[in-house]
Amino acid sequence: MSRQMIVGNWKMNGLRESSRELVTALVAGVTGTGPDVVICPPFTQLALLADGLANTPVGLGAQDCHQAASGAHTGDISAPMLTELGVTHVILGHSERRQGHGELDETVREKAVAAAKAGLTPIVCVGETHDQRENGDYADTLGWQIKGSLPDGFCGIVAYEPIWAIGTGLAATEAQIAETMTFLRQELVRQFGEAGKAIKILYGGSVNADNAVAILSIPEVAGALVGGASLKADAFLSIVGAASAG
């Protein structure tokens, strides 16, 4: 198995003191001999935490970026702004952005292009709703999301997040994850040829310390996109410990 990646998505959580404390604990617990580790705190904490993460095994990521490099986009953050802060990865197209902010596949694709141009590694999220899963439409949904959200020559990371398993305490069964991961790999190869074989696919959807070993052992799972559990050092470090260093 190749070196896996564990990404912590803090979402809209973390004030200065608690963020510093969490990062201090993570840096002390991540040895650098395990999987790649990246944390994605809110924009407000990026500059604060960048120095503390410099020259450590823990990378710094962001939760979104705008598709333009600059301009009249009140409240938005551009990819070059993130790069300047030492950010290396950026989550794009998370279901909470797609549903809560109306982001379309086209928007996500434009952001992925902007991120790559600025030197960031885009982590593009795809996933189906409960109805799409139950109706058997999940494969079509995921196939179209990949086609619409990933630009030509995509060299980033894909994160599969069944929407019905995010923040609900539910997790897809191992069989469901394995089936979907196999489909995603086939779809990536179909759309990107040989390059599709090298694109990492993370799993995100209520990953925690209890189910991490089982999920990370599933073929084609190249790591995890962790939500709530990334806010607790012991839980996140347990997930990191369950991952493969290759």
The residues carrying an active-site annotation are: 94, 161
Coil, helix or strand for 89? strand
Asked whether 163 and 140 are in contact (CB, 8 A), the reply is: no
Q: Exposed, middle or buried, 191 (CB in 10 Å: 0-12/13-18/19+)? A: middle
Coil, helix or strand for 6? strand
CA distance 200 to 221: 8
Asked whether 197 and 238 are in contact (CB, 8 A), the reply is: no
Q: Report H helices in the chain.
A: 16-29, 43-53, 79-84, 95-100, 105-117, 130-134, 138-149, 174-192, 212-216, 233-242
Q: Which two tokens stand for residue 72?
A: 């009249």
User: Which residues on adjacent β-strands are paired with residue 159?
Assistant: 125, 202
CA distance 181 to 220: 6
CA distance 19 to 52: 11
CA distance 79 to 1: 31
